[in-house]
Amino acid sequence: MSNVPRSPMDWDATPDPAAPVPAAPRSPRRADFWSVLRGLVCAFGLVSLAYWGYIAWPFPMPAVLFIVGAPLFAAVVWYFFRSPRSPIETDVVGKTIVEVALIVAAGGAWISIGHPVVGLVFVVVAAVSGVVASRREAR
Average pLDDT on 62-78 reads 92
The whole-angstrom separation of Cα 46 and Cα 54 is 13
For residue 111, name the pLDDT band (cuts at 50, 70, 90): very high
According to the model, what pLDDT value does residue 7 have?
64
Exposed e or buried b per residue across 3-37, where buried means at least 16 C-beta atoms within 10 angstroms of its C-beta: eeeeeeeeeeeeeeeeeeeeeeeeeeeeeeeeeeb
For residue 69, name the pLDDT band (cuts at 50, 70, 90): very high
The dihedral sign for the CA sequence 107, 110, 116, 119: negative
pTM: 0.73
For residue 46, name the pLDDT band (cuts at 50, 70, 90): very high
According to the model, what pLDDT value does residue 27 have?
61
According to the model, what pLDDT value does residue 17 have?
67
Residues near 130 by beta carbon (within 8 Å), at least 6 away in sequence: 41, 99, 100, 103
For residue 24, name the pLDDT band (cuts at 50, 70, 90): low
Domain boundaries, the chain: 33-138
Burial class (CB in 10 A: 0-12, 13-18, 19+), 96: middle
